[in-house]
A and B are shown apart, each in its own frame.
Chain A
């Protein structure tokens, strides 16, 4: 790999439109996957292509999808946040306890959002103050701490009996369309704009590609990092509200394992774990690829362990492709040398 190529490889600058480049994008592979999954599902189960069923399946998996966009920003920075599921649990538990103690539900929801914000902010501030710590370690610690606090508050109990209207978040429909789908679409539009059309989005890519150069270019790295981790916390609280509404109750051990599902969706969406690369479009596609794949396999009663293996295999492929491309390129270079 020559030095020039190494530098421009990851950075997206204004390029002339090229049909070839347009066609050979990771996103198209995801589109292909989505089509194939749908075709197989339709062929295998007569109940798959039914509007109501599809909508209720989407209603089921979209509560995780809420977390995917802010997580995408974190991964674009080349960082990771595995504390989100714990943040969900903590904010949902505090919301439940506040409601139980007589605070009106809307205020309890605000409290849960506030808790989520604080949890995210703490992650961000620790990372900025102690730069030698990796985000994996910091969020691993806060993951344990947040869930620990939730367990201390509620012990082994659950909070239920929320007001009836609260069920609307998880189960409500506008016409035939689940409410959460509307929320998701708006969130997706906002993040598409934020990531691809604003200076903030460009800065995130710049930081993800090279944190040192971005600092020398005058970017406020610390501020951006704190904002992104805080965003992640807020959205974790929102996802916690949706999940609590769906279950009609909350416990300290809700959402366990969600962080990995969310990271899996981001990575399958073509966002590089080393940062600076990936598009919102790919992530949206991967949400539906994983969600519909799980749903379709569930419909034909594939055991849940097998489903996990299949999704794991997909992820390996997603991670392997960029490496495969690089090694092919390296192989190519080697051939030239040996020929010479």
Chain B
């Protein structure tokens, strides 16, 4: 009898424990809810990041949020804890259930999100991709950060100058399915192919994939350094570039680094000369443009077809143009060069 009393007591105690855990999250839920409640008539515009902790994605959301405030919509930031399409599908599904008005997604895989995004569009939700595109059937428009041709060719030309026309090139990319990185790499290859004479001493030795994961990027960079032919690493991804910079610094390597990096993260490497210069656009502006582009889709002032015009707040008038994959896109502008002279002022901005 006494035993069973103890049993009952323990069960009661544990259920109280469970309930308190639940009611605990219940409370935080309520707070969260007030910020995403769409019953007060405000439209909800959601941004799905590649992964929720990526600092570049957070900067993008900053701009997205600012624009949403100007428009009068509710901004929502979502993203998986790992950069995988599986988790993004789950999140898109939740957004469809919440009946948001706009889903802006930076895709981890161009094709894998298609069924999920299509079912969102079937329900009348507007879908656009930004930063890393989904395929043309899964979106209404893509927000293109900068002309991929200029980025690709520009990075190879920069690499050529940095090694004085003599030394192998390695590329440290994000995932092998990342749409934007692959497009830039294609343009890099084109630049090399079309000017064989100029680049005869700067061959592309290897393309490595760091999956936008700091650990894997570090390992891949270390592996690249074992090849004595490699004199420069091009990292067209902020995560990879930071990881590569740290490896080069630790090993006191003479290999140079360029690519697309966040000024705030890369400032020490630019100042120390490991990275003579690099390029990037303003991620805040991408998010900002995405919110305005999405707003135009939601208000049906554009449909995402070629030739549509919209006014994107402080960025002025933008035109929808044809994209390389056959879909349409809105171009933000030219890539911006960061070097020793201007890094000081930019490193505090983003």
Contacts and interface: CB of A to CB of B under 8 A. Distances in A.
A314 B18 contact: yes
A329 B91 CA distance: 45
A48 B89 CA distance: 18
Interface string A118-162: 000000000000000000000000000000000000011110100
A29 B85 CA distance: 34
A158 B89 CA distance: 17
Contacts of B197: none
A158 B32 contact: no
B89 A60 contact: yes
Contacts of A32: 15, 18
A57 interface: yes
Contacts, number: 151
A243 B86 contact: yes
B26 A248 contact: no
Nearest to B99: A47
Contacts of B13: 324
A20 B98 contact: no
A303 interface: yes
Contacts of B175: 156
Nearest to B118: A171
Interface stretch (B72-80, B188-196, B249-257, B298-306): B72-80
B6 A29 contact: no
B44 to A, nearest CB: 10
Contact of A29 (B2, B14, B76): B14
B177 interface: yes
A305 B93 contact: no
Contact of A301 (B78, B87, B114): B78
A179 to B, nearest CB: 14
Contacts of B18: 29, 32-33, 314, 317
B228 to A, nearest CB: 24
A325 B22 CA distance: 22
Given A40-B22, A60-B89, A299-B98, A308 B81 contact: yes
A303 B52 contact: yes
A256 interface: yes
Interface string A231-266: 000000000000100111101011111000000000
Given A56-B96, A248-B111, A308-B81, A44 B33 contact: yes
Contacts of A61: 90
A131 B30 CA distance: 52
B82 A257 contact: yes
Given A24-B7, A329-B3, A158 B14 contact: no
Closest 6 CB pairs of A and B: A156-B176, A53-B97, A247-B112, A298-B94, A304-B81, A160-B111
